[in-house]
Amino acid sequence: MVKAIAIGTGLGIVVFLIYLGVNPLPLLIFAGIIAALVFVSGTGVNQRGFGANKKRNSRKDSIPTVAFDDIGGQERAKKELMEALDFLIFHDQIVTYGIRPIKGILLSGPPGTGKTLMAKAAAHYTNSVFVSSSGSEFVEMYVGVGAQRIRDLFRDARTLARKKRKTSAIIFIDEIDVIGGKREGSQHREYDQTLNQLLTEMDGIISNQDIRILVIAATNRKDMLDAALLRPGRFDRHITVDLPDKKARLQILNLHTRNKPLCPDVDLEQVASETFGFSGAQLESLTNEAAIYAMREKQEQIQQKHLSLAIDKIMMGEKTDREATQEEKERVAIHELGHAIISELVRPGSVSQVSLAPRGQALGYVRHHPEQDRYLYTRQNLEDQIKVCLAGAAAEQYIYRNKSTGARNDYEQANRYARILIEAGLSQLGIIDPELISKEKMHEETTKIIRQCFERTFQHIRQFHTLFQNCLHILLKEEVLSGDEFRNLLKQYAHETAKIDRVN
């Protein structure tokens, strides 16, 4: 109706101007420009509003069903988190003791360790509504939009809690380092307004007593967060959710195989031993890939070999179609056998499998598994690791009298272990400050350590000429040599020659 009146009025004015003898063209051009500006402005506003609503609607606002018992491992982190959550459950008791409510909990740790699951379990534990968001949702090119979304987030949490007739709400912000990064000097960014609004909302949490709100945030880079966000009164508790140890890995594997048909002879404890450094997400992916392998082979149950293949895929990647020449296969086999021999000498029982199947960027590989999780290393431990890294190149040098580019990644690992040895004060340089050591000095000492380790490794490789030939024949034929098969061949060779000594 209004649009029709406006059009009619405009046409009347044009006719009237023509009647007066005035040229209406300049007026029409001016009116067209104004209309175009109004249309573009309106479209931009609508897009902004639509984008904001879309992002708000994309949040998963509900009451989670995930409990702490559904999370494998992380016993220390779960206990610390549950203690912090008690202020939402035992509010009256906390008031009696004069305890100030905790406003925020920061979960930090590597990706895939279960930080989001911990936040959901916290909502289940406290019977609170759960409102989730991501730091990237608050990043916007328009000034003030991020701050407005922070206000909307807290308002939505209170509204949802009242709707569900709950007295508490948990707001979970993933990737908080996106908006909570350190502020640099006087530089003003849109992120700063968003962060300031978050700080303001957290300061004002206890002013609204009918709904108690707890903010849980997750990050992989705690060191990047602004100090104002980390201080007491904002995020009062900092909980590290670290990679699981062997016991925790076994719990996680048991949880993720509950709904899968496992063969009775499957040894999940062995799988837990072979997956040192795996996160919870990787372990979940491992069980899923094992089930896929079983389905491909049309097996009714998941067997140990399927889990072994899944470990290889998670660690090295999927098998590739690259077809190596016979000469390359023999060289790769010699290279991997060198790794396996020295690995068994420095740490008996550590070889799980020797394979010539190309995976990822590797033409072959040796899969190791530690006897136990290790977090501290002596000089001997680090030198043993360097020798294992260099053993492939040493084997090529002994058999072919030259080396290939296949040892490039091995050298990178060896250099990393050598630098750890130096920075830990275990080298001949003694206890040092790495920042005060020149690159030339660091390189000189690293080269010295690696050269000495290579010479000792080469001397031990020379003892196994016949073993190389025996294992090479089997490996080229089968493409896979299990750890037990390799150890039997090694023991047989040791019995025949009686010349094998432990690497010193």
Give catalytic residue positions.
Answer: 336
User: What sections of 363-423 are H helices per DSSP?
Assistant: 379-400, 408-423
Q: Is 401 helix (H, G, I), strand (E, B) or coil?
A: coil
Q: Let me know: does 340 contact 468? Beta carbons within 8 Å.
A: no
Q: What is the Cα–Cα distance from 455 to 413, expressed in whole angstroms?
A: 17
Q: What is the Cα–Cα distance from 106 to 240, expressed in whole angstroms?
A: 8
Q: What is the Cα–Cα distance from 83 to 268, expressed in whole angstroms?
A: 32
Strand-strand pairing, 365-368 and 351-355: antiparallel
Strand-strand pairing, 104-108 and 237-240: parallel
With tokens 């202020």, the residue in question is: 87
Burial 41-77 (b: 16+ CB within 10 A, else e): eeeeeeeeeeebeebbeebebeebebebeebbbbeeb
Q: Let me know: does 266 contact 293? Beta carbons within 8 Å.
A: no
Nearest partner of 472 among 416, 396, 380, 418, judged by Cα: 396
Q: Let me know: does 176 contact 217? Beta carbons within 8 Å.
A: yes
Q: Let me know: does 302 contact 261? Beta carbons within 8 Å.
A: yes
SS3 content of the chain, % helix, strand, coil (to 5): 60, 10, 30
With tokens 């991997």, the residue in question is: 336
User: What sections of 257-358 are H helices per DSSP?
Assistant: 268-274, 280-296, 304-316, 326-346
Q: Residue 137 half-sphere exposure, CB side, CA atoms within 13 Å? A: 21
CB atoms within 10 A of CB 497: 13
